[in-house]
């Protein structure tokens, strides 16, 4: 069940500052960033349902190569499904977070023997060396090298 396209376009135009004309075209007074061009493409496609018309308007206004047919349709479908044209995955690296159990194991290992190298620690805990280095530096705030006074001068 598709939402009312006219209501979505009007809501998007109010939130982005795009003014709608009485005709079937959108006024492209935007030359800011990609999100504005993305928004203008979605609004134009919502009005006309013609991808080539959107591409011609984009080229005329932005003096750039227009996005592909597939990309415009993908933006439009995302807007219809989510009500937003922003990237929903932004800020997510795809990696799983390090568990507290792993952090505690590394902390205990370093507290038992503080002079232990990260390579040796990673071998004992069966973790990648890079993970041990990152956790010890970022989570535990251990510095890799500290100047130590070995003998009195």
Judged against a pLDDT cut of 50, whether residue 78 lies above it is answered with yes
Residue 20 backbone dihedrals phi, psi, to 5 degrees: -100, 135
* Separation CA 135–CA 107 (nearest Å): 9
Band of the pLDDT at 98, cuts 50, 70, 90?
Answer: confident
Query: Residue 126's pLDDT is what?
Result: 92
Judged against a pLDDT cut of 50, whether residue 31 lies above it is answered with no
* Separation CA 74–CA 53 (nearest Å): 16
Which of the two residues, 25 and 47, has the higher pLDDT score? 47
- Residue ranges of domains in the chain: 5-82, 100-139
Least confident of 1-10, 89-98, 103-112, 120-129: 1-10
* Separation CA 145–CA 123 (nearest Å): 20
Written as six digits, the tokens of 144 are: 């890799």
Handedness of CA 63, 65, 70, 75 (dihedral sign): negative
Collapsing DSSP states into helix, strand and coil, what is residue 136?
Answer: helix
* Separation CA 107–CA 101 (nearest Å): 10
pLDDT digits (tens, 9 = 90+) for 135-150: 888 888 887 665 444 5
């Amino acid at each position: 069940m598709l939402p009312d396209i006219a209501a979505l376009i009007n809501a998007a135009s109010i939130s982005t500052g795009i003014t709608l004309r009485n005709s079937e075209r959108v006024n492209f007074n935007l030359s800011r960033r990609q999100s504005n061009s993305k928004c203008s493409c979605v609004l134009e496609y919502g009005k006309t349902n013609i991808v080539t018309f959107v591409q011609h308007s984009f080229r005329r206004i932005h003096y750039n190569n227009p996005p592909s047919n597939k990309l415009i349709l993908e933006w439009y479908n995302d807007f219809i499904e989510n009500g937003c044209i922003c990237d929903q995955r932004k800020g997510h690296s795809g990696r799983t977070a390090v568990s507290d159990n792993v952090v505690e194991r590394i902390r205990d290992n370093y507290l038992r023997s503080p002079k232990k190298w990260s390579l040796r620690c990673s071998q004992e805990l069966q973790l990648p060396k890079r993970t041990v280095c990152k956790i010890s530096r970022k989570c535990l705030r251990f510095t890799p090298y500290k100047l130590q006074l070995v003998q009195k001068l």
